[in-house]
Amino acid sequence: MALGIGCTARPGNSRNNKTGSWRVFYPVMDTEKCTKCGTCQLICPEGCIDQNPDKTYSIDLDFCKGCGMCAEECPDKAKAISMVMEEK
């Protein structure tokens, strides 16, 4: 992305600005354990969890800020999401 003078942005710019850069922990989804309940998608404040054709879920790490709410809210019987420290 070239810098716009005065920090200007054209429409649709948020697709180009990857806002996941300041994450400390990132979520890892274990699709074997996942019960496909959809709680993680509902709870994600950034709307970056999408359902796959096989009804499991995947997380868009370009925009995930690593808040950990999906891992916290994933039902006890599944616990399919774990948070892992970012290595930079």
Partner 1 sequence: MEGSIAIAETVRLCRPQVIPAYPITPQTHIVEGLASIIADGRLDAEYICVESEFSALSACIGASTAGSRVYSATTSQGLALMTEVVFNSAGMRLPIVMGIANRAISAPLSIWNDQQDSIMMRDSGWIQLYAEDNQEAIDMHILAYKVCEDHNILLPAFVCFDGFILSHVYEPVDIPSQELVDEFLGPFNPYQKLDPKDPISFGMYATPEYYMEFRYEHDQAVHRAAEAIKKYGKEFGEMFGRDYSELVVGYKLEDADIAIVAMGSICGTVKDAIDEMRADGKKVGLLNLRCFRPFPSTDVAKALAHVNTIAVLDKNVSLGAKGAAAIEIKEACYGSNIPVYDYILGLGGRDVRKKDIKKIVELAEKGEGDMFYGLREEVL
- Return residues touching partner 1 (CB under 8 A): 1, 3-11, 13, 17, 19, 21-22
Q: Residue 19 or residue 51: which is nearer to partner 1 going by CB?
A: 19
User: Please, what is the minimum distance in Å from the beta carbon of residue 25 to partner 1?
Assistant: 18
Q: Residue 17 or residue 58: which is nearer to partner 1 going by CB?
A: 17
- What is the radius of gyration, based on Cα positions, of the chain? 15
User: Please, what is the minimum distance in Å from the beta carbon of residue 1 to partner 1?
Assistant: 8
Residues 51/57, Cβ–Cβ less than 8 Å: yes
CA distances from 4 to 18, 55, 63 (A): 17, 41, 22
User: Please, what is the minimum distance in Å from the beta carbon of residue 13 to partner 1?
Assistant: 7
Q: Residue 12 or residue 53: which is nearer to partner 1 going by CB?
A: 12
Angle at 55 between CA 34 and CA 71, to 5 degrees: 35
Residues 80/31, Cβ–Cβ less than 8 Å: yes
